[in-house]
Structure 1
Amino acid sequence: MKKEFTTKPEKIMEAWPGELSSFSWQDFVTAIPSPLFLITTYKSNGKENACLQSWSTFIGDSGEFICIIGSVSKHGHLYQTLNETKCCVLNFPSRDVYDKCTKTIDNNGFDDDEITMSGLTAEKAITVHAPRIKECFLNIECELLWEHEHFENSNSVTVALKATHICMDSERYDESKLGRYGKTGYMFNINSLRNPDTGEVTPDCYGAMELYK
């Protein structure tokens, strides 16, 4: 039986203070997965910046490959560095390095080399002034195209990036080896599922894509 939801169900409560200001209740009810990756840049002091990211989509357009980042906070290092350098790298981790990637959430001081401090390896990009993460099986180097507020005076913006270079582990694009999908491939963010009838919370988790033929 389908149910209709126009306003926040009464049973859905904040799991932590400010949660429903940072995220929409619709996000938790729908729980639509999105690929997980780290966006890396250089801060103005030359230190590595790494932001674990989701809520994004990718599309080819007239020979170009475009990434739309759905939500970038105006108050974080990523927004600041993107506006300063106009470039970044998108780094896609596999399951075996995910725990190190989450450490970048804690190692996020302005004076921190966030990649190195999290146990990962920074390497130079080919076409942009931004660090790549060696352990990630796919690196997409990008230039900033534009940003747009979600609404007037919103806390976050949507950002468009254009790919300038791709580096990918050959065992990932060979589906007879590790491949791009399943437990060894792309990881997907599943953001704190909620049951709108009971308010039951399933903690943040991640998943993989299974191919149907």
Structure 2
Amino acid sequence: MKIEIGKEFPQYFKALYPEEFELFSHFEVTAGIPTVLFAVTTWKENGKPNVCFHSWSCFHGDKTAFFAVMGNLYQHTHTYANIKREQCFCVNFLPISYYDNLVDTIHCNEMDDDEFAAGGFTIDSAKAVHAPVIHEAFLSMECTLKEIQDLSGAGITAMVIGQVQHISVEESYAQGYRQRYGKDGFMMLIPAPQDLVTGEPNKSAIATVHIEKYD
């Protein structure tokens, strides 16, 4: 038997925190699909560096181009405004050991805040775009803005597509699987899977990749 969840909010779903279902669709916690966590870095209008801890994205392309497709970027944020103004951004992948540092940037995100300092990060200059790069990231992508779409049309979030112009990889991560996957590699967000029988909430989880098979 399958549990069927439609587009109308299930009234028996309980929120983990008061604004949960004002911020997110109930489909997010119905599905609980894991996606990679990373930091989007940009310059604020006043020249301060900005860090946005983000997920809900994918990375793909063809032989002509490669894209960072960032979903669910809130339009009221500094990051959204910075990307529109500067027409570029960087995507920085850090291991789970930097999770708390990245959370610190969430709590220190006013216009005059240096969010690199808040997270204890070192600024590097991008090679191909006008954006700051997190030195501690094991992999960084420099992107020019390709397209912005408000998929829902509600003016709340946007899908931001960047075209990758340059990638930097830490040398110790440059050969095979050993460093990029596991506790020192990509960090994953598992959105809190709702109990679809009782409607009780769960906390989100942070995970790393464990390779089960080679294809």
Is the TM-score greater than 0.5? yes
Would you say 1:125 and 2:134 are equivalent positions?
Answer: no
Q: Which amino acid aligns with 1:204?
A: S
The DSSP-based 3-state class of the residue aligned with 1:20 is: helix
Residue equivalent to 2:155: 154
Conserved 8 A contact 1:116-1:122: no
CA offset at residue 16 of structure 1? 2.1
Q: Once the two structures are superposed, what CA deviation does each residue of 1:135-172 show, in whole Å capped at 9, x if it has no partner?
A: 11111011001101112233111111001110011222
Residue equivalent to 1:8: 9
How does the TM-score come out when normalised to structure 1? 0.94
CA offset at residue 63 of structure 1? 2.5
Gaps of 5+ in 1: none
RMSD: 1.4
Conserved 8 A contact 1:11-1:198: yes
Matching of residues 57-68 of structure 1 within 5 Å = 57-68=58-69
How does the TM-score come out when normalised to structure 2? 0.93
Distance of aligned partners of 1:196 and 1:10 in 2 relative to their CA distance in 1, 3 Å threshold? farther
Alignment partners' CA distance in 1, 2:92 and 2:173: 14
Alignment partners' CA distance in 1, 2:18 and 2:201: 15
CA offset at residue 89 of structure 1? 0.6
CA offset at residue 62 of structure 1? 3.2
Conserved 8 A contact 2:15-2:201: no
CA offset at residue 84 of structure 1? 0.8
Residue equivalent to 1:187: 187
Q: Which amino acid aligns with 1:190?
A: I
Alignment partners' CA distance in 1, 2:72 and 2:95: 22
Alignment partners' CA distance in 1, 2:27 and 2:153: 20
Residue equivalent to 1:139: 140
CA offset at residue 205 of structure 1? 1.6
Distance of aligned partners of 1:152 and 1:9 in 2 relative to their CA distance in 1, 3 Å threshold? closer
Q: Once the two structures are superposed, what CA deviation does each residue of 1:70-118 show, in whole Å capped at 9, x if it has no partner?
A: 1111100011100110011100010222211111101101001101222
Would you say 1:107 and 2:108 are equivalent positions?
Answer: yes
Q: Once the two structures are superposed, what CA deviation does each residue of 1:25-67 show, in whole Å capped at 9, x if it has no partner?
A: 1101110001000000000100000000100011122321111
CA offset at residue 126 of structure 1? 0.9
Alignment partners' CA distance in 2, 1:47 and 1:193: 36
Conserved 8 A contact 1:103-1:118: yes
Conserved 8 A contact 1:192-1:202: yes
Conserved 8 A contact 1:9-1:197: no
Figure out how many residues of one structure are paired with residues of the other and give that number: 212
Segments ≥4 residues shifted beyond 4 Å: none
Q: Which amino acid aligns with 1:147?
A: I
Give the % identical residues: 33
Would you say 1:207 and 2:210 are equivalent positions?
Answer: no
